[in-house]
Amino acid sequence: MRTSFLALMATLFLAAGCAEPPQTSTPAKPATTPATGSPVSASGKARIALLLPLSGNAAPIGQSMQQAAEMALFDIGAKELALSAYDSGDTTEAAVEAYRKARAGGAALVLGPLFGTSATALAPLVAQGGVNVVSFSNDESAAQRGVWVMGIAAPPQVRRVVDHAIDAGIKRFATFAPQTPYGEQMARTLESHVAVRGGTVVAAELYDPNSYDLMPSARRLSAEAQGKGGVGKLAILVPVAPPRVSTVLASLTAAGIEKDQVQFIGTGVWDVAGIGNDTMLRGAWYAAPDPERRADFERRFTSTYGRPPHRLATLAYDGVALAGHLARLKPGGDFSAEAITNPQGWSGVDGIFRFLPDGRSERALAVIEIQAARNTVVSPAPGTFTSRPVN
């Protein structure tokens, strides 16, 4: 499916961890597809392809992201862009076919797809001479030169909230997470970054995500943390989304973890409306983009389309804004790896971000404290990148 925005342009102008949909078919075998169209339209606009799941289970997300992309075109006055949307569906085959169509249409840059497995499937095509891809996935395992992941990855969230805890005087850390690839990755990230910052991980417990009884695991974590002693508060990383997080915290409390003696820390899975309704989470910290910047986008989106955007819609908005910046660098635009990986980075609804040569992205995140009615930013997101890119 291909939806053209050329008429729209005549009037003018951001995943993980998206969860991957079930893969029910064999991934398509990569094959090169030569571009048959010009990367510049007859009117001199750079052709930008938008790969989104416009059909299948994730269609509501794709439709919200497509609307955000339209809004970005108006907002930035991107007269240099000719944007076309292609349906990448729920499977890697659909994403590969959408990419081939975009290439045949002469796309100079591909924004999307949404899922990490789909981005991975495009990598061989890019390596064989295809156009660069800025995926909306947050799966860093899909990242490589030529296929950048734009989504807000979880490891940087953990590092950011650990930095804030260390700066606040907390030196002791623990992890209570599900025994899943995501939970294990969060535990490893905490352990490695705490060591870099001079803190100590006193306990790490990975529980069975399918178990209804978390008490044995909670008791082990409590005993290990208390057995190693130490001075000051203990920060416990709980990378668990609601509503499951309520059960997890209740188990820790029942196991002897006293709330006034610990600082709960988490990831962007807590960045959802109404998170403060859980009294046990009040006072907890997590890292995410500054909510004030996103609030303005959400108000304008709702006013335009009559419903609030999906949380991932900002990725499409910021992706189109990025393409607009790249299109202005020179006649016809500059969508090279060197231009995309500008170390000064780019500014978007979700704050500043930059792409690294290896395909990952780095974001400036705020640290947010959960409160009953309105969450509070306790450490603002930096406005510029003053350090060298992370390793």
Q: What average pLDDT does this structure show over 58-80?
A: 93
Torsion angle of C-alpha atoms 136, 52, 82, 32, degrees rounded to 10: 90
Phi, psi of 332 (to 5 degrees): 85, -10
Q: 46-52 and 109-111: which strand pairing?
A: parallel
Q: Which residue has the higher pLDDT, 66 or 74?
A: 66
Nearest alpha carbon to residue 163 among 187, 190, 201: 190
In the chain, % helix, strand, coil (3-state, to 5) comes to 40, 20, 40
pLDDT digits (tens, 9 = 90+) for 88-113: 999 999 999 999 999 999 999 999 99
pLDDT in the model for residue 29: 43
pLDDT band at 33 (very low <50, low <70, confident <90, very high): very low
Q: For the chain, give the percent of residues with pLDDT over 90.
A: 77
pLDDT in the model for residue 15: 38
**Domain match, 12 and 141 both:** yes
- Residue 383, number of CB atoms within 10 A of its CB: 10
**Domain match, 241 and 118 both:** no
The span from the CA of 191 to the CA of 137, in Å, is: 25
The pTM of the full predicted model, rounded to 2 decimals, is: 0.84
pLDDT band at 1 (very low <50, low <70, confident <90, very high): very low
pLDDT in the model for residue 178: 97
Residue 351's domain spans which residues? 2-151+294-359
pLDDT in the model for residue 94: 97
Q: What average pLDDT does this structure show over 151-158?
A: 94
**Domain match, 50 and 140 both:** yes
Label residue 147 left, alpha or beta by phi (over 0 means left) and psi (-120 to 50 means alpha): beta
pLDDT in the model for residue 387: 63
**Domain match, 191 and 310 both:** no
Report whether pLDDT(36) > 80: no
**Domain match, 159 and 252 both:** yes
The span from the CA of 385 to the CA of 383, in Å, is: 7
**Domain match, 88 and 174 both:** no
* Residue 30 falls inside a structural domain: yes
Low-confidence winner among 42-46, 112-116, 179-183, 337-341 (lowest mean pLDDT)? 42-46
**Domain match, 135 and 11 both:** yes
pLDDT digits (tens, 9 = 90+) for 157-206: 999 999 999 999 999 999 999 999 999 999 999 999 999 999 999 999 99
**Domains of the chain: total:** 2
**Domain match, 218 and 99 both:** no
Asked if residues 208 and 220 have their Cβ atoms less than 8 Å apart, the reply is no
Nearest alpha carbon to residue 18 among 70, 57, 48, 55: 57
* Residue 58 falls inside a structural domain: yes
- Residue 68, number of CB atoms within 10 A of its CB: 26
Average pLDDT, the chain: 89
* Residue 365 falls inside a structural domain: no
* Residue 385 falls inside a structural domain: no
* Residue 84 falls inside a structural domain: yes
Q: Give the 3-state secondary structure of residue 149.
A: strand
- The enclosing domain of 318 has a CATH number of 3.40.50.2300
Q: What average pLDDT does this structure show over 320-345?
A: 95
pLDDT band at 383 (very low <50, low <70, confident <90, very high): confident
pLDDT band at 4 (very low <50, low <70, confident <90, very high): very low
Residue for token digits 């709330």? 259
Q: Which residue has the higher pLDDT, 197 or 40?
A: 197
The residue among 233, 268, 288 that closes a domain is 288
The span from the CA of 173 to the CA of 251, in Å, is: 18
Q: What average pLDDT does this structure show over 358-369?
A: 96
Q: For the chain, give the percent of residues with pLDDT over 70.
A: 90
Which of 28-32, 85-89, 287-291 has the highest mean predicted lDDT (pLDDT)?
85-89
* Residue 369 falls inside a structural domain: no
pLDDT band at 118 (very low <50, low <70, confident <90, very high): very high
* Residue 211 falls inside a structural domain: yes
* Residue 239 falls inside a structural domain: yes
pLDDT in the model for residue 343: 93
**Domain match, 108 and 170 both:** no
The residue among 288, 313, 334 that closes a domain is 288
pLDDT digits (tens, 9 = 90+) for 214-262: 999 999 999 999 888 777 899 999 999 999 999 999 999 999 998 888 9
Partners of residue 262 on adjacent β-strands = 234
The residue among 256, 288, 320 that closes a domain is 288
**Domain match, 147 and 210 both:** no
**Domain match, 86 and 173 both:** no
Asked if residues 139 and 17 have their Cβ atoms less than 8 Å apart, the reply is yes
**Domain match, 115 and 165 both:** no
The span from the CA of 121 to the CA of 103, in Å, is: 15
pLDDT band at 61 (very low <50, low <70, confident <90, very high): very high
